[in-house]
Amino acid sequence: MKQIKLSPFLMTIALAVLLSACHKDKINPKSDTPTASRAGLYVLNQGIFQSNNSTLTYYDYTTKQLVPDIYSSVNGSPLGDTGNDIEIYGAKMYIVVNYSNVVDIVNAKTSKLIKQISMVNASLPAPNNGRQPRSVAFYKNNAFITSYDGTVAVMDTATLTISKYITVGRNPEQLVVSNGKLYVANSGGLSFGNPDKTVSVIDLNTLTEIKKITVLPNPVSIAADDYGHVYVLSLGITDYSGTPPTIVAPPGMTIIDNKTDVSISQTNLSLGYNIPMAVLGDFVYYVTADNKIAVYNAKTQSAAQANFITDGTVITSPFAIATDSLTDEVFVTDAKDYSSNGTLYAFDKNGKKEYSITTGISPGKVAFVNK
């Protein structure tokens, strides 16, 4: 999926269907001018779907020490099943655990659990009432959490309570804040062969959906630059009933103007089943079908590089991309075979490898923590 990114997990689900902080939290730290130095980084490892083996790896920049599963070490219990997103906002870190239907809020420096939010629909009978949370983003004192039941939860980051659910499109995946609005990629990924093809626009003052923008089918990844553009990567539609599979609608990128909320371009791209994306300054990074890290120039609105990695480093199964505006580094994880430990690679701005660390199974998201 997206992550699972429409990774092997989404394919598994689709085939199965076919066959049977407190008040001092900062406002959107990602857009603030960096003032602190990094203590280290976290890697959220999804594990194997339905195996309850998600883990949280921590790498300390000062000591160079690696803690393979800091969540379990600190809290004395496993993280859960299919960790899908991790973001730090103020003093807290939010961990979205998809198949366990929970969001864990932990201390960003220690990983100690503060509160676990159960993401279930109380109006539906168990055990089929899990909302299946996917991704989280922040604006002012609210956290916004997408769930596969077609909603975005609004959570107060001080009280850690959910005040409302906003109805969006089918099976929403990633979301991003841009120009005072929230953009939500509605994948419809669980409707095999009939995905959604919209991005919901939510007014962050009224907390209501104000528009749906048509994009390429099965939108999963979404990001924004500083030039007024929102980028959406879509998986397209593939018919797997034959051998080889048939592409019904190709994958690609849609670019949205965040002032008019109109799609200004749609481009078919060679993308795989996993399409992470990240923005750093003038550049947008994403994974291609041949496991390269392509670069798009946000300032000139043109393709920049077919492969960001310039030193010959080979990534077998790119699963996550993260960028650090403090250091201009680009991080890429390799899930390898999706059943054994993966690797995180750190590259400088010129695409040369600086170092690598061992992660858990299917390293899907990266978060940077300050000292």
- Mean pLDDT in the chain? 91
Point out the least confidently predicted range of 51-60, 83-92, 119-128, 161-170. 119-128
Instruction: Give residue 240's pLDDT.
Output: 85
The SS3 call for residue 14 is helix
Task: Tell me how far apart the alpha carbons of residues 257 and 62 are, in angstroms, rounded to a whole number.
Answer: 41
Residue 333: strand pairing partners = 320, 344
Instruction: Give residue 1's pLDDT.
Output: 40
> In the numeric block, which tokens belong to residue 353?
């490898």
Please, what is the Cα angle at 118 between 155 and 168, to 5 degrees?
Answer: 55
Say if residue 328's pLDDT is above 70: yes
Task: Tell me how far apart the alpha carbons of residues 344 and 366 are, in angstroms, rounded to a whole number.
Answer: 9
Residue 295: strand pairing partners = 285, 305
Give the global pTM: 0.91
Task: Tell me how far apart the alpha carbons of residues 10 and 272 are, in angstroms, rounded to a whole number.
Answer: 13
Q: Residue 187: give its domain's CATH number.
A: 2.130.10.10
Task: Tell me how far apart the alpha carbons of residues 47 and 97 are, in angstroms, rounded to a whole number.
Answer: 11
The SS3 call for residue 19 is helix
Q: How far apart are the first and last CA of the chain?
A: 33
Averaged pLDDT, 119-129: 93
Say if residue 125's pLDDT is above 60: yes
The gap from C-alpha 6 to its chain's centroid, in whole angstroms, comes to 11
The confidence band for 273, taking pLDDT boundaries of 50, 70 and 90, is confident
Say if residue 293's pLDDT is above 60: yes
Residue bearing the bigger pLDDT, 6 or 247: 247
Say if residue 115's pLDDT is above 50: yes
The confidence band for 304, taking pLDDT boundaries of 50, 70 and 90, is very high
Say if residue 69's pLDDT is above 60: yes
> Is 33 contained in some domain?
no
Digit-coded pLDDT (tens) for 139-165: 999 999 999 999 999 999 999 999 999
> Is 48 contained in some domain?
yes
What is the percentage of the chain residues whose pLDDT exceeds 90?
Answer: 86
- Find, among 2, 320, 318, 286, the residue nearest to 134 by Cα: 2
Say if residue 35's pLDDT is above 70: no
Point out the least confidently predicted range of 31-40, 76-85, 219-228, 280-289. 31-40
Say if residue 34's pLDDT is above 70: no
> Is 35 contained in some domain?
no
Residue 38's Cβ-count burial label (10 Å; 0-12, 13-18, 19+) is: middle
Amino acid at 139: Y
Instruction: Give residue 28's pLDDT.
Output: 34
- How many domains does the chain contain in total? 1
Digit-coded pLDDT (tens) for 88-113: 999 999 999 999 999 999 999 999 99
> Is 366 contained in some domain?
yes
Say if residue 318's pLDDT is above 90: yes
Sign of CA dihedral 89, 92, 95, 100: negative
Say if residue 205's pLDDT is above 60: yes
> In the numeric block, which tokens belong to residue 279?
């923005």
Say if residue 348's pLDDT is above 90: yes
The confidence band for 116, taking pLDDT boundaries of 50, 70 and 90, is very high
Task: Tell me how far apart the alpha carbons of residues 333 and 313 are, in angstroms, rounded to a whole number.
Answer: 12
Say if residue 276's pLDDT is above 90: yes
> Is 36 contained in some domain?
no
Averaged pLDDT, 267-278: 95
Averaged pLDDT, 320-341: 97
Averaged pLDDT, 289-311: 97
- Find, among 230, 229, 233, the residue nearest to 219 by Cα: 233
Amino acid at 165: Y
> Is 55 contained in some domain?
yes
> Is 2 contained in some domain?
no
Say if residue 53's pLDDT is above 60: yes
Which residue range(s) make up the domain with 208? 8-28+44-370
Instruction: Give residue 192's pLDDT.
Output: 87
Instruction: Give residue 7's pLDDT.
Output: 41
**Winning range, highest mean pLDDT, from 23-32, 111-120, 234-243:** 111-120
> Is 312 contained in some domain?
yes
Averaged pLDDT, 82-87: 98
